A and B are shown apart, each in its own frame.
Chain A
């Protein structure tokens, strides 16, 4: 756990970068500091490993006052990743990764072995071990940066806009990778970004900073989208927050309709009996085949089989238990039937959703989240 207790950074010219910041970063969680430039988020991050010395207040890392620690020793126990990677150009990839283990006087062989282990962990091919940083792509360099930060297995990882310098596609994959790594490693991660989307995607908690080094709101991404404390946070969080919030609600809350489903061997007459505008046709293995429209079935003989009827495509399906309500809503919006198909992991049909059913599920999920937030007490340490 990292604790900021009324931490202030004032520069000799009187500029206050961070103003009496109090913040708790729970162990094993990812806290993202986000805000416009000049809000003090980077200064706050760098005070944790004393790249910047606080003027007032205390910072505790796992109970230890950082100001009482020897700076170099403190830093070897805190991983650090920066935007420009800061890899050592004169060292090979494996030696870059082994930096902190070697500073900690590990044997060369042990440090090398650890490098290989980390390269595998962050998804770097082993044949890159002997290359130099300039021979790698930006995304690969950033992976090396993450591997180097993790080399001595520090409990805390600081990330200063780690993915801002790479293109959007690489950035998205690095973010996914970080989420996956964190799922395995459970580090206490503090990340700085100016990208609120990134904060919402990778953070367990998000701290929104105001200009002048003040906190505006500290909350889970879902709460930040669902209940921004004021206009500043609302503006900062941006458009479509209602829709984006649905990403945090699982689609398993949907009550799926299984009545509008018929097998391929069923007849047009069976479909007509249901009296529904659309019927989902499935094959013998319960996999979705397509949608049969009542309007089109009207012109077919009653005894013809649905397998031979013209079917509209399924579009994209969603998986309750894996996908979110946002995904289910998206599938529904994209389908011209205004219905989407929920499938099990093996691809078999679980049921069909409609706007009606989505509305009920969304309302229920929101009420549940709001009730939980109310039970936890007023959200966010706001100054």
Chain B
């Protein structure tokens, strides 16, 4: 196998692992806020995101080829949608976990609803949201390798290539690299949470 390929494929896989959850977060935040406020809205949203997650990734990739071709978007869009399945509930849970007295005190101090959300509720939901993000990132990193089957480059290359050439060592290298990448990204998120929430450290 060609070790010089490790760097580029790792970078591609990292992009496919990190970008979809971030896009998912941008969608999940407003969606979660609305779901936390209007309970009746949450159940259908939850069903929908779970339903999407139940679709096999490869099937979604193939469907999207007609629209986005063999580009990164073909993988990024499904993975972003998948991430909603964990991100939306975590945004909702995070917001609901804000203690009632804190919310009431914020209102009584003269925070308007929007300001209260941005300055009090969302910051307090950060640990739960990041916990969701960790799951989404790790699962995106591993799912991204499936994209290799439609030719979108990732660490899945080593698995597919090793399989085609009946070269099991290459397959193991691919698997280990994916796990290491997932661990590194997870550690980065843990670090981010520690930096973002100095108040929760005990």
Q: When chains A and B are docked, how far (Å) is the Cα of A333 from the Cα of B67?
A: 95
How far in angstroms is the closest Cβ of chain A from B55?
38
How far in angstroms is the closest Cβ of chain B from A85?
7
B99 touches A84 (CB 8 A): yes
Q: When chains A and B are docked, how far (Å) is the Cα of A87 from the Cα of B101?
A: 8
Q: When chains A and B are docked, how far (Å) is the Cα of A71 from the Cα of B198?
A: 32
Which A-chain residue is minimally distant from B119 (CB atoms)?
A88
Within 8 Å by CB of B105, from A72, A74, A80, lies A80
Q: Is A364 an interface residue (CB 8 A)?
A: no
A82 touches B110 (CB 8 A): no
Within 8 Å by CB of A80, from B109, B124, B197, lies B109
B110 touches A75 (CB 8 A): yes
Residue picked from B106, B109, B197, most chain A C-beta under 10 Å: B109
Interface residues on A, range: 20 to 34
B202 touches A103 (CB 8 A): no
How far in angstroms is the closest Cβ of chain A from B146?
39
- Kindly list chain A residues whose C-beta atoms are within 8 Å of the C-beta of B202: 134
Q: Is B108 an interface residue (CB 8 A)?
A: yes
A90 touches B197 (CB 8 A): yes
Q: Is A170 an interface residue (CB 8 A)?
A: no
B104 touches A88 (CB 8 A): no
Which residues of B, 182-200, contact A by the 8 Å Cβ criterion? 197-200
B108 touches A80 (CB 8 A): yes
- Given contacts A51-B104, A82-B101, A132-B199, A89 and B109 within 8 Å (CB-CB): no
Which residues of B, 83-129, contact A by the 8 Å Cβ criterion? 99, 101-102, 104-112, 115, 120, 123-124
- Kindly list chain A residues whose C-beta atoms are within 8 Å of the C-beta of B115: 103
Interface residues on B, range: 20 to 34
- Kindly list chain A residues whose C-beta atoms are within 8 Å of the C-beta of B110: 72-76, 100, 103
Which applies to chain B's interface (DSSP): helix, strand, loop or mixed? helix
Within 8 Å by CB of A86, from B104, B123, B199, B200, lies B104
- Kindly list chain A residues whose C-beta atoms are within 8 Å of the C-beta of B199: 89-92, 132, 134
B112 touches A86 (CB 8 A): no
B111 touches A103 (CB 8 A): yes
Q: Is A49 an interface residue (CB 8 A)?
A: yes
Which B-chain residue is minimally distant from A46 (CB atoms)?
B108
Q: Is A267 an interface residue (CB 8 A)?
A: no
- Given contacts A84-B99, A87-B102, A89-B199, A49 and B108 within 8 Å (CB-CB): yes
Q: When chains A and B are docked, how far (Å) is the Cα of A195 from the Cα of B110?
A: 29
Which B-chain residue is minimally distant from A100 (CB atoms)?
B109
Which A-chain residue is minimally distant from B103 (CB atoms)?
A86
B105 touches A82 (CB 8 A): yes
Q: When chains A and B are docked, how far (Å) is the Cα of A74 from the Cα of B102?
A: 19
Q: Is A99 an interface residue (CB 8 A)?
A: yes
- Kindly list chain A residues whose C-beta atoms are within 8 Å of the C-beta of B109: 75-76, 80, 99-100, 103, 148
Q: When chains A and B are docked, how far (Å) is the Cα of A76 from the Cα of B109?
A: 6
How far in angstroms is the closest Cβ of chain B from A202?
21
- Kindly list chain A residues whose C-beta atoms are within 8 Å of the C-beta of B102: 86-89
How far in angstroms is the closest Cβ of chain A from B116?
10
How far in angstroms is the closest Cβ of chain B from A127?
17
How far in angstroms is the closest Cβ of chain B from A337?
53
Which A-chain residue is minimally distant from B112 (CB atoms)?
A72
B101 touches A85 (CB 8 A): yes
Q: When chains A and B are docked, how far (Å) is the Cα of A30 from the Cα of B109?
A: 21
- Kindly list chain A residues whose C-beta atoms are within 8 Å of the C-beta of B198: 132
How far in angstroms is the closest Cβ of chain A from B47?
30
One digit per residue, 1 when the CB lies within 8 angstroms of any chain B CB and 0 when it does not, for chain A 49-93 equals 101000000000000000000001111101010111111111110
Q: When chains A and B are docked, how far (Å) is the Cα of A52 from the Cα of B60?
A: 50
**New A-B contacts (15) at CB < 8 Å, excluding given A83-B101, A88-B124:** A51-B107, A72-B110, A75-B110, A80-B109, A82-B101, A85-B101, A86-B102, A86-B105, A88-B106, A89-B99, A89-B124, A90-B123, A92-B199, A103-B111, A148-B109
Closest 9 A/B residue pairs (Cβ): A86-B105, A76-B110, A84-B101, A80-B108, A86-B101, A75-B110, A132-B199, A90-B199, A72-B110
